[in-house]
Chain A
Amino acid sequence: MKRAQLSLDVLLAVLLVMVTITNLTYLATSEISHSENFDTFTKLRLFSATLVDHSAKVYAIGEGYKIREVAPDLNGGRIGIIFNGTTNKIIVNATVNGRNFWIIRNSTVPLYTSTLVLNSSEEFWIVAYYNSTEGMLYVKVEK
């Protein structure tokens, strides 16, 4: 009799604990896909900030100056960089596991329209480019 009473109590306690644990596990698993997304978000954000910053530095130093850049590792994803000279915006887009991510940043220096498509961790250059017909200094990207 004693043993039977104990097991009933324990069963109740186990049930209640299990309900709580299931809830927490469910919350945690739903969090995984979101954190994978946020990993890509933060990497792209950081990369776009680096591009804006370094293009300003290259422009400040002047004609012919180059900085070597490395694209971030996005778990096999591909990255596209667009320097839009007409709107003066830097657009970075990425495709990771069939999902698209993109960020649009305003550039502080004049840009020369140029695009690049890169694999993860691929190298490229940010170049200060002097357009002699216009007599203007621009910044562009090239491989």
Chain B
Amino acid sequence: MLKSRNRAQTALEMMLIAGIILVSIALVVPSYFEENTLTSVVAYVRASASRACDYLNLGVFSNDPRYSPLNPILETLNGLNPNLRVLKLETSQTNDTITVVVVLTTPYSTIDNETLASAVRSFIVHDLNMTTNRTLSNGTLFYGDTAVNIVVRVEK
């Protein structure tokens, strides 16, 4: 009698502990995935932005469709090395949107900031769309339900 009650108590304790563990899993996993999304998005954008800078700095044209947004810029540079580099990355997250601000810097004042920024932005968007599972709609990247907003600025 005593033995079977003991066993029942053990089973209850186990259910309680299992319940606690399951609840903690339910709490931890979604927030972990959310954090992971933000981290990987930032990593991809960073890698993509520095590729764009490398491409423009080297000055070698390619007919690879991934680089086609950057080719008009390369033509206007006319052999000049723009010495572009990624200065900083800023991220902010509201409910359904992640905004990543990429700041590039170049010492040349003759380069048109606006066209350069929009070309690099369209390169990053297409690059992420092609190499990752982000979907593209109306020029905005979507990762599941989360919109990823990419803003590129060029500073002197």
Residues of A at the B interface (CB closer than 8 Å) are 1, 4-5, 8-9, 12, 15-16, 19-20, 23, 26-27, 30-31, 34, 37-38, 40-42, 44-45, 99-106
Partner of B54, one of A38, A40, A102: A38
Partner of A9, one of B10, B21, B40, B64: B21
CB neighbours (8 Å) of B47 from chain A are 27, 31
CB neighbours (8 Å) of B61 from chain A are 101-104
Q: Is the interface of B mostly helix, strand, loop or mixed?
A: helix
Residues of B at the A interface (CB closer than 8 Å) are 10, 13-14, 17-18, 21, 25, 28-29, 32-33, 36, 39-40, 43-44, 47, 51, 54-55, 58-64, 79, 131-132
User: B60, A45: Cβ atoms under 8 Å?
Assistant: yes
Do A12 and B25 contact each other (CB < 8 Å), given the known contacts A19-B32, A106-B79?
yes
Q: Return B66 CB to nearest CB of chain A, in Å.
A: 8
Partner of A104, one of B51, B79, B131: B79
Do A16 and B32 contact each other (CB < 8 Å), given the known contacts A38-B54, A106-B79?
yes
20 new A-B contacts at CB < 8 Å, known A31-B47, A41-B54: A1-B10, A5-B17, A5-B21, A12-B25, A12-B29, A23-B36, A23-B40, A27-B43, A30-B131, A37-B64, A38-B51, A38-B58, A45-B58, A99-B64, A100-B63, A101-B62, A101-B63, A102-B61, A103-B59, A105-B79
